[in-house]
Amino acid sequence: MRVRQLLLLSTVAPLFLSCGTGLLTRYVDEGTIEYALSFPDYDPNGLMVGMLPESTTLWFTSDKQVAELSAGMGIFRTFMQVDNSGQAMDYHLSMMGKKIVAHLQPRDLGLFNEEYGNPTILFTNDVDTIAGYPCKKAVAIFDKMAQREIELWYTDRIRIENPNWFGPFAEVPGVLMRYEMVQNGVRMHLDATTVTPGDVDMAKFEPKDEFEKVSAPVLHHELAEVLGTFSM
Q: Which domain holds residue 186?
A: 31-228
- Could you tell me if residue 25 is inside a domain? no
Q: How far apart are CA 227 and CA 2, in angstroms?
A: 71
How many other CB atoms sit within 10 Å of the CB of residue 190? 19
pLDDT at 9 over 80: no
Backbone angles phi, psi at 198, to 5 degrees: 150, 170
The CATH number assigned to the domain holding 134 equals 2.50.20
pLDDT at 20 over 60: no
Q: Record the pTM.
A: 0.83
Q: Per the structure, how many domains does the chain have?
A: 1
- Could you tell me if residue 7 is inside a domain? no
Residue 62 DSSP symbol: S
Q: Which of 132, 128, 137 is nearest to 195 (CA)?
A: 132
Mean pLDDT, residues 206-222? 94
